[in-house]
C-alpha cells in the first residue's frame, strides 16, 4: 500500500494572526507546484480560521494543535472538534509531548481526544515519544507501547483509518539533536508491527508514521529515506516559509 508522505509544520505558540497568515500565504505560493506530498501547517487556535481562509484552494492543509473531547459546554478556555471542523481544519495534533509535560495530558485524555476527533472526521496525529532518561534506561519500546495502546484503547480499525502517528523523541525536540537513522528505523518498524498486533495488517500498512524532532533541510532527506518513515512533523524549521519549503521539496 502506498502512503502519501505528509510534511507537517507545528507552529506551537509562535506568530500573531497577521504573521501566521503572511507565512501561510508565502508557503502556499512556494508550494504551488508540489506534487505527491501532503503539506500541513498547524497554527495557534487564534489564527487557525484566518490561516485556513487565506490558503483555501491551495496545496496547504490545515491542522490544529489540540482539541477538547467534549462537544460543547461550560469548559472555559477549550475548543471542540466541531469548532475546528467549522474552521476548515483537517488534521489535529493530539498528545504532543509539550502538552503531556506542561498541561497534564495523559494517555487517557489523549484517547478521549482521539475518539472525539475521529467521530467528527478530523484526522488525528497521535504524538508519542520517550524522554532522554527513558531511552537511557532502555524503556523506549515499553513507553511507546503504552502510549499507543492506551492512547488508542477502545478504538477499531475503521475509526482509525485516518490516523497518523508521530514519533517525537522528547530529547530531540527543539534541541538540535536528531535521533540517528538506526534509532528512527528501529522505532518506526516497531510501531508498524505494534499497529498490526493491536489492530490489523491493513491498518498497519496504511497508517503514516511521521518522525519529529529537529527535522531541518539538512537532515530531512536521510530521514525520509528510512523505509517506515512517511513524513515529518516539524517545529522550529516550519516557521519560516523559505526554510520549510526546502524540507517539503527534499526530493527535488
Ligand atoms: P522541532 O522541530 O523544533 O524540534 O520540534 C519538533 C516538534 O515538536 C514538532 O511537533
From 38, 105, 130, 168, the catalytic residue? 168
Q: Is 234 in the pocket of ligand 1 (CB under 6 A)?
A: yes
Determine the distance separating the centroid of ligand 1 and the alpha carbon of 64, expressed in angstroms. Answer: 15
β-strand partners of 210: 166
36-19-89-79 Cα dihedral, nearest 10 degrees: 150
Q: How far is the CA of 73 from the centre of ligand 1 (A)?
A: 32
Q: How confident is the model at residue 1 (pLDDT cuts 50, 70, 90)?
A: low
- Per residue in 49-84, pLDDT (tens digit) is 999 999 999 999 999 999 999 999 999 999 999 999
Report angle CA 50, 53, 54 to the nearest 5 degrees.
Answer: 85
Structural domains present in the chain: 6-248 (3.20.20.70)
CA 16 vs CA 22, 28, 44, 85, 126: distances in Å: 10, 18, 9, 21, 26
Model-level pTM?
A: 0.98
Instruction: Read off φ and ψ for residue 10, nearest 5 degrees.
Output: -100, 110
Residue nearest to atom 7 of ligand 1 (CA): 235
pLDDT band at residue 222 using 50, 70 and 90 as cut-offs: very high
Mean pLDDT, rounded, of the chain: 97
pLDDT band at 176 (very low <50, low <70, confident <90, very high): confident
Ligand 1 center from residue 239 Cα (angstroms):
11
How far apart are alpha carbons 135 and 133 in whole angstroms? 5
Each residue of 178-193: pLDDT tens digit?
899 999 999 999 999 9
Mutate to test the pocket of ligand 1, among 167, 184, 213, 239 (most ligand atoms within 8 A of CB): 213
Amino acid at each position: 500500500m502506498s502512503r502519501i508522505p505528509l510534511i507537517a509544520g507545528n507552529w506551537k505558540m509562535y506568530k500573531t494572526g497577521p504573521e501566521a497568515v503572511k507565512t501561510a500565504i508565502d508557503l502556499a505560493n512556494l508550494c504551488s507546484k508540489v506534487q505527491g506530498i501532503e503539506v500541513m501547517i498547524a497554527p495557534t487556535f487564534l489564527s487557525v480560521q484566518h490561516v485556513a481562509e487565506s490558503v483555501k484552494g491551495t496545496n496547504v492543509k490545515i491542522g490544529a494543535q489540540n482539541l477538547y473531547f467534549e462537544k460543547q459546554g461550560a469548559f472555559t478556555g477549550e475548543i471542540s472538534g466541531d469548532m475546528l471542523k467549522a474552521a476548515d481544519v483537517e488534521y489535529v495534533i493530539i498528545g504532543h509531548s509539550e502538552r503531556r509535560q506542561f498541561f497534564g495530558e495523559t494517555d487517557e485524555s489523549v484517547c478521549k481526544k482521539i475518539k472525539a476527533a475521529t467521530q467528527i472526521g478530523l484526522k488525528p496525529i497521535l504524538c508519542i515519544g520517550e524522554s532522554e532518561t527513558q531511552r537511557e534506561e532502555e524503556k523506549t519500546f515499553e513507553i511507546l507501547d503504552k502510549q499507543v495502546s492506551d492512547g488508542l484503547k477502545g478504538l477499531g480499525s475503521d475509526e482509525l483509518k485516518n490516523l497518523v502517528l508521530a514519533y517525537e523523541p522528547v530529547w530531540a525536540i527543539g534541541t538540535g539533536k536528531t535521533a540517528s537513522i538506526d534509532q528512527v528505523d528501529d522505532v518506526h518498524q516497531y510501531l508498524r508491527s505494534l499497529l498490526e498486533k493491536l489492530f490489523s495488517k491493513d491498518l498497519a500498512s496504511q497508517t503514516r508514521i511521521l518522525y519529529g524532532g529537529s527535522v531541518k533541510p539538512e537532515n530531512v532527506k536521510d530521514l525520509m529515506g528510512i523505509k517506515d518513515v512517511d513524513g515529518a512533523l516539524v517545529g522550529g524549521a516550519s516557521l519560516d516559509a523559505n526554510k520549510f519549503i526546502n524540507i517539503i521539496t527534499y526530493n527535488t
